[in-house]
Amino acid sequence: MVEASKLWFEDACSTCRCHELIHPWTYRCSDATRTMLISCIKGSYKFYAMVYLIQILMRGKKLGKKEMLEQFKLYLKSGVFGLTVGSSFVTLNCIFRRLFFSEFSYYNTVLLPCTVSGLAVYCEPPYRRVMVLNLFVNLVFEYWVRTLEMKGWLRRSPGKETLVFMLGSALFFYLMRLDRDNDKRTPLFWFFTPPRVSKETGEPVTGIHGKSPACPHKEPCINYILKGTAQLFGVGCAMTMLRTLIPKILTPVKAFKSLKMSHMKLGLFFGGYIGIYRLVVCLLCRAHGKDSAMYAIPAGFLSGLAFRASPSTPISLAPVTSSLQILGSWGYQKGLIPEKWPLVEILYCLCQGLLFHARVMHEDVCPRYIINLMHTVTSSKADEIQSAFIQKMLKYASG
Ligand SMILES: [Zn+2]
Ligand SMILES: [Zn+2]
C-alpha cells in the first residue's frame, strides 16, 4: 500500500506547480502565505479555546483570578504554536521547492516541512511540550495499529482494547504511585492522580464503616469512593454535553432534546474508573493495615474494566504511552539521558511530520484526531489542500 501510494503520488504530482497542489485557492505564493496565516489565527485560537476549557473542567476545581490569568497567557502561547505549525506548511513548501527541490516528492512534500515546523513546539513551556509529545506519541501508536489492521495483521475490538487498557492502567498507576515520591514529578494529564503511598500503619479493619489508618485519604472510605465516582461521572457527562451542545448552541431547545441516555457512557467510564480504583485500594489497605504502591496494580487492572462503557482506540493505548513518559522522565532524572539533549522536541517534530504525512498520504488509517485537528486549526484549508491532492491522483488514475 505504501509503495503504491508513493509511486502514485510521485507520478501524479511531482511536476505540479505549487499553486496547483499546495495552495489551490490562490496563484501567488505570498498571497497563499497571507491567507493561510489568517485562517490559522482564527482556527488555532478556536481549537485551543476548546482544549483549555476541557483541561480546566478536568481539574475539577474552581480557578482563582490569578490562575485564570495564567491560563489565559498559556492559551495565547498555545495559539501561536498552533498557528505557526498550521500556516508554515504552505510557506515552507513554497520556499523549499524554490531553493532545494524542483519537484514534489513523497517525502519532501509533507513529511519534511511538517517535521521542521514541529520546532514551533518551543512556543510552549517545557511541561506542556511533554504533554503535547505524550499526545502525539499516542497518536503515532494509533496510526501504527490502524496500519497493521489495514494490512490484515491484527483486528481491533472493544474487548481487546479494554484488555489493553486494563493492563496499561495496572502498569501506569503503579508507576504513578512510585513517581509521587519523586521531588520532580512528571507532568501528567490523566483522569485523576492517585494519592501518595501512605506511611501510616494499623490493624486490619472489618465491616464497611470508617477507614483504615493506612488508607491514603482522610474521610471514611465510602465517602471517598463515592465522591470521586460522582465527580468524574459529572466531568464525563459535562464533556459529552459540551460536545453535543456546542454545535447546536443557537437552538437550545433542539440541543437539549438531542441528549440521550447514551451520552452518559463517558460519565460511566470516568466515574467507574476512579470508583473501582479507589474501592480496590481501600479494600487492600483495610485488609492489610498498611498501604503499598503495589496495590495500584490490581486496582488499576480492575478499574480498567470501566473503559468497556466507552471504548476508543486512542484512549486504550494512552496508559502505555503515559507509562513510557514516566520511564523517560526517570531516565532524565537518573542521568541516563543527558539533560541537554532536546529529546522531547526532536521526538515531537518526528511524530508531527509522520502524522501530518499520514493525513495527506494515508487518510484511511490516519487517526481521526489529526484529521479534526488540521481541519480546525487551518479553518478547513487543510481539506482544500487534501482534495487538490486527491483530484490530481484521480485525474492521473483515470488516465
Ligand atoms: Zn507557492
Ligand atoms: Zn479507604
Closest-lying ligand to the alpha carbon of 97?
1
Listed residues: CB within 5 A of ion ligand 1: 18, 29, 94
Do the beta carbons of residue 191 and residue 300 sit within 8 Å? no
Do the beta carbons of residue 40 and residue 377 sit within 8 Å? yes
Angle between helix 296-303 and 158-179 (nearest 10): 150
Interval between CA 207 and ligand 2 midpoint (Å): 12
Cβ neighbors of 54 (< 8 A, separation 6 or more) are 239, 242
Closest-lying ligand to the alpha carbon of 198?
2
Closest-lying ligand to the alpha carbon of 281?
2
Interval between CA 180 and ligand 2 midpoint (Å): 18
Nearest residue to 298 via CA among 124, 128, 132, 177: 177
Residue 346, pLDDT score: 96
Residue 1, pLDDT score: 42
Residue 76, pLDDT score: 94
- Give whole-number Cα distances, 43 to 48, 109, 126, 168, in Å: 9, 23, 24, 34
Do the beta carbons of residue 92 and residue 110 sit within 8 Å? no
Angle formed at CA 393 by CA 389 and CA 156, multiple of 5 degrees: 80
Interval between CA 398 and ligand 1 midpoint (Å): 26
Closest-lying ligand to the alpha carbon of 213?
2
Interval between CA 13 and ligand 1 midpoint (Å): 14
Closest-lying ligand to the alpha carbon of 288?
2
Closest-lying ligand to the alpha carbon of 291?
2
pLDDT in tens, 122-143: 999 988 999 999 999 999 999 9
Interval between CA 205 and ligand 2 midpoint (Å): 10
Task: Please give, one letter per residue, the 3-state secondary structure of the chain.
Answer: CHHHHHHHHHHHHCCCCHHHHCCCCCCCHHHHHHHHHHHHHHHHHHHHHHHHHHHHHHHCCCCCHHHHHHHHHHHHHHHHHHHHHHHHHHHHHHHHHHHCCCCCCHHHHHHHHHHHHHHHHHHCCHHHHHHHHHHHHHHHHHHHHHHHHHCCCCCCCHHHHHHHHHHHHHHHHHHHHHHCCCCCCCCCCCCCCCCCCCCCECCCCCCCCCCCCCCCCCCCHHHHHHHHHHHHHHHHHHHHHHHHHHHHCCCHHHHHHCCCHHHHHHHHHHHHHHHHHHHHHHHHHHHHCECCHHHHHHHHHHHHHHHHHCCCHHHHHHHHHHHHHHHHHHHHHCCCCCCCCCHHHHHHHHHHHHHHHHHHHCHHHCCHHHHHHHHHHCCCHHHHHHHHHHHHHHHHHCC
Look at the block and give the residue holding cell 489497605: 285
Interval between CA 296 and ligand 2 midpoint (Å): 14
pTM listed for this prediction: 0.88
Closest-lying ligand to the alpha carbon of 216?
2
Low-confidence ranges of the chain (pLDDT < 50): 1-3
Interval between CA 396 and ligand 1 midpoint (Å): 22
Do the beta carbons of residue 18 and residue 97 sit within 8 Å? yes
Residue 17, pLDDT score: 84
Interval between CA 266 and ligand 1 midpoint (Å): 44
Residue 380 identity (one-letter amino acid): S
Nearest residue to 157 via CA among 169, 120, 165, 40: 165
C-alpha cell at 315: 484512549
Closest-lying ligand to the alpha carbon of 104?
1
Interval between CA 111 and ligand 1 midpoint (Å): 17
- Domain residue extents for the chain: 1-154+339-399, 156-334
Do the beta carbons of residue 375 and residue 44 sit within 8 Å? no
Interval between CA 88 and ligand 2 midpoint (Å): 52
Number of neighbours of residue 162 by Cβ within 10 angstroms? 18
Interval between CA 32 and ligand 1 midpoint (Å): 7
Residue 251, pLDDT score: 64
Residue 256, pLDDT score: 67
C-alpha cell at 186: 512528571
Distance CA 358, CA 367 (A): 9
Interval between CA 212 and ligand 2 midpoint (Å): 6
Residue 14, pLDDT score: 83
Closest-lying ligand to the alpha carbon of 31?
1
Interval between CA 312 and ligand 2 midpoint (Å): 31
pLDDT in tens, 183-228: 777 788 788 888 888 888 888 888 788 888 999 899 999 999 999 9
Interval between CA 92 and ligand 2 midpoint (Å): 56
Interval between CA 281 and ligand 2 midpoint (Å): 7
Interval between CA 98 and ligand 1 midpoint (Å): 9
